[in-house]
Structure formats: C-alpha cells, structure tokens
Amino acid sequence: MLEELEKLQIKALAELDKITGSRELEQWRIRYLGKKSRLNQILHSLSILPLVERRSTGARANTIKKTLEATLKEKEEILGEALLLSSLEGRRLDVTLPGQPISSGRFHPITQTLEEICQVFQNMGFQVVEGPDVEWDYYNFEALNIPQDHPARDMFATLWIDSDRDKKSRLLRTHTSPMQIRVMEQRRPPIRVVVPGRCYRYEATDATHESMFYQVEGLAVDKNITLADLKGTLFDFCRCLFGEERKVRFRCDYFPFVEPGVEVAITCLTCNGAGCRLCGYSGWIEILGAGMVHPDVLKRVDIDPEIYSGFAFGLGVERIPMLRYGIDDIRLFYGNDLRFLRQF
C-alpha cells in the first residue's frame, strides 16, 4: 500500500503541473482529494491493516494528503495571478495618451437669451432689476389699469394663491409688468429699467404655450419722452438681436396700461419677408408689445403726466430662440433632454 501511495503522489503532482485552467484544477481536486478519491479510500481502510503497518501507512498517507493540498493551493494562486495579468494586459493603460474629456456645463438656452437681451438694453443705459414671482393683485392688475371688472383680466389665465379675489389677493404674476409700478413707487424719473423674470399662466401646455415662461419688461420715464424714442429703442434692439438687415414694423395694438399701444414685428427669419408657413405667409412675425405709459398709471405712483412721459414694452423670451433656431415646440426648453440642450 505504501508503494501505491508513492505512485499516487507522483502521478497527481505530474498532472497538477500540466494544468492551465481553473476547471481542470477543480477536476484534479475531486480526483485526488475528493471523498471518492483513492487517497481517501486508503485512509478509510487503514483499520483492516496490522497495527505496525497501519501506523506507517497512515502517517505516509496524511503526509501525501497535506503535500497535495499545499501544492493545490500554490497552483490556485499561480492560476489566479495569471488570470489577473491576462485581464490587465487586455486593458493596458497608456499613460502617455490624453485623458478622457470632461464634460463642461453650459448655460441653458433661455439663460443665454436672457443675458443677451439684458446686455443689449444695458448698452442703451437701462438698468436690470428683478421682482417677486408671487405678486399682489394690486400690482399685477389694479395699478396697471386692470380693475376687478375689467375685461382685460380674461386675457390672463391667473394662478391665484389666495381664495378671495379682493385687492389684497396674492397670485403668481401673469406678466413682469407689475415691476413698472414697484419701480416707479421707489424711484423718481429719470427711470430706465429692464425686468427679466418668470411668469405663470393657468393654461394647457402645447407646442406654443407653457404654464411657466420668461418675459423681459422694459420701462423708461423722463421728460419729453415720445413714441419716436420708443420706436428708436426697439428698432435698435431688433437690429442688435436679429441682424442689421432685419426690417421692423410697428402697428397699433391694445394694452390697458399703455396709450397708444403698439405691436412690434420683424421680417420672418425663415423666408426674409417673402411669406412662408412659419409666418402664416405674411412675411412678418410679432415679437413684442409696447406703448406709451398710460397717464393714469403715472398718476397712481405720484408722477405728474403733464411733466413726465414714458414708454414700456414686454417680450416673451422663449420666442426669440424658437425663431432663431427653428424650434417648433416650447416644451423642449423645459424637458431636461440633454440631447436638445447640448446644441446651445
């Protein structure tokens, strides 16, 4: 039996030395160290041997078992290191290559447009101011010539915060015009300000309407301001934003807080005035509303309309990049789709 043990050890070590994979190694372990292995059978049959032979055979069998287990462990470590090296070899890092580019943040297209609009007016001497999103009914409507029973209130789908709609009711502002009153309450002419900010309307969203959108309000009050000053200011603004070749048209329109009121349009950016689907085949696209500040609005803030006059204007910010880049759905600006936003 001792001779059989020696042959078993030599054969097992020889086979182990040739093994190159973990699957073969597991098969070797079962064959030589498993419960049904010949070595285990010999250890279980020692009781039938004479005492002297039992001692020598048992000691030798245990020694061989420990040798095979130790050699198996070494082989496992060798194969593990080889596997690791082969995997690393396939993903070798060349430190001389340039690193992965880091994505840099950028301004939202609406933020970019807001800054550009404000910069144009700042160059003309206007100051940028901001106001609250939650506004009083007085500033949003009453002080702007839109009392409780005025039909113009139907133009604004208002999001009310307070349930009772008296003069002290609060709401999410429907336009940035309330800042006209707030600024004129705090300052005396001359006044030249632009007011960028969010506005809110309770209405269904579609390709051209959102419940939250941005506006820029403008106000200038001083002595001897005329409609010609308004036209000159907005004419220069349109040229700065849309190009020197752009034509600008002024037509009469109605807004309760200005008199007279005008609608400002530019030649279509797609057809350049020839007429297309975007401009309804008119060749013109409306971009903002404006007018001379109503005398009653000036009186409310203790500015004498016999001495001072002024003009005001307001434009929707989303409309500008939609016209510039041919975007046909306003909801894309607020959908947080990086594929869309990365284009700006």
Q: How far apart are CA 34 and CA 60, in angstroms?
A: 18
Q: What pLDDT is attached to residue 163? A: 61
| Mean residue pLDDT across the chain | 86
Residue 92 lies in a domain: no
Q: Which ranges of the chain would DSSP assign to H, the alpha helix? A: 2-18, 22-33, 38-44, 51-90, 109-123, 137-140, 178-186, 227-242, 295-300, 319-325, 338-341
Q: Does the structure show a pLDDT above 80 at 166? A: no
- Do 217 and 308 belong together in one domain? yes
Classify 150 as helix, strand or coil.
Answer: coil
Residue ending a domain, among 24, 54, 86, is: 86
- Do 115 and 210 belong together in one domain? yes
Residue 200 lies in a domain: yes
Residue % of the chain over a pLDDT of 70: 94
Residue 96 lies in a domain: no
Q: pLDDT tier at 148 (50, 70, 90 boundaries)?
A: confident
pLDDT in tens, 309-332: 999 999 999 988 888 888 888 899
Residue 102 lies in a domain: no
Task: Look up residue 267 and give its amino acid.
Answer: T
Q: pLDDT tier at 181 (50, 70, 90 boundaries)?
A: very high
Residue 97 lies in a domain: no
- Do 68 and 117 belong together in one domain? no
Q: pLDDT tier at 257 (50, 70, 90 boundaries)?
A: very high
- Do 180 and 254 belong together in one domain? yes
- Do 135 and 194 belong together in one domain? yes
The mean pLDDT value for 65-78 works out to 85
The partner residues of 160 in beta bridges, in order of sequence, read: 171
pLDDT in tens, 73-90: 888 888 888 887 777 776
- Do 81 and 149 belong together in one domain? no
Q: How far apart are CA 40 and CA 65, in angstroms?
A: 9
Query: Residue 266 is part of a domain; what is its CATH number?
Result: 3.30.930.10
- Do 145 and 289 belong together in one domain? yes
Residue 101 lies in a domain: no
By the 8 A CB rule, do 8 and 39 touch? yes
- Do 221 and 259 belong together in one domain? yes
Residue 21 lies in a domain: yes
Residue % of the chain over a pLDDT of 90: 41
Structural domain count, the chain: 2
- Do 267 and 211 belong together in one domain? yes
- Do 123 and 65 belong together in one domain? no
- Do 195 and 333 belong together in one domain? yes
Q: pLDDT tier at 165 (50, 70, 90 boundaries)?
A: low
Range of the domain at 150: 109-341
Residue 222 lies in a domain: yes
Residue ending a domain, among 55, 86, 117, is: 86
Residue ending a domain, among 31, 54, 86, is: 86
- Do 169 and 250 belong together in one domain? yes
